[in-house]
Amino acid sequence: MTNNNQQGGQYVGGFSFGGQNQGQQGQQGGQAQPVPPAYPVPAPVPAPMPAAPAAQGPGAAFPPATGGAAQPPAGDPNYRFAERMKTFTTTIVLPAHSLQFDGAYFLNLLAGSISLTKDEKKKIIDSMPKLRQAQVDELIRIFEEERAKFIELSPKHGTQLKKLEDEHIADWRDIELMYKQAVQSEEDTAKADEIRKQLGL
């Protein structure tokens, strides 16, 4: 079924995903598929340094000068990647299209992806009216695979993944603001045109 949250197709743009211009490829060959993103695998957590022997005598309150590297902060043992996406809401509405998919679920996956930049996510939204069903289906498959991969990595790399997730959530709020400003600009232009029309200008 067509996404219920559709909006007049006012956002139109190119589809740049993984370095390939999908809009151009779709026009030239009709067989282009979205290129899977390169997953940002978190760096391995260094093994903890062995505990130093307890200091003795005067000055015992001062830690020994071992010169070892500082240990990374402990991650939240209860953290699970994408858990917060269960309550995800967004002000973004997909442009009008004739494709068959759940638009709210697609935006959830897109917003939660940490392998795409802010600009790439916006281009995907803008390109929705130009995408083929096979391309959208492939994007959904890629996003689902990415989310499952990082959920699996959560126990070992929770600290790094949470940081990345926080950054991409902030990026998504920036995208929402960009669309809000664009809509406001269109409304202001329409009001100005109406005033000029009433004044006979």
Q: Kindly report, residue by residue over 4-62, the tens digit of the pLDDT.
A: 444 444 433 433 344 444 444 444 444 455 555 565 555 555 555 545 445 444 444 44
Candidates 137, 118, 136, 138; CA nearest to 127 is 136
Question: What's the pTM?
Answer: 0.61
Q: Is residue 168 part of a domain?
A: yes
Q: Is residue 177 part of a domain?
A: yes
CA-CA distances (angstroms) from residue 134 to 15, 30, 124, 138? 14, 10, 14, 6
The per-residue pLDDT for 72 is 47
To 10 degrees, the CA torsion angle through 101, 105, 108, 109?
Answer: -60
Distance CA 139, CA 69 (A): 41
The per-residue pLDDT for 65 is 47
Q: Is residue 58 part of a domain?
A: no
Q: What's the pLDDT tens digit per position in 168-199?
A: 999 999 999 999 999 888 877 878 778 878 87
User: Based on the structure, what is the number of domains in the chain?
Assistant: 1
Q: Is residue 5 part of a domain?
A: yes
State which residues form the domain around 106.
1-25+76-201
Q: Is residue 36 part of a domain?
A: no
What mean pLDDT is reported for the chain? 76
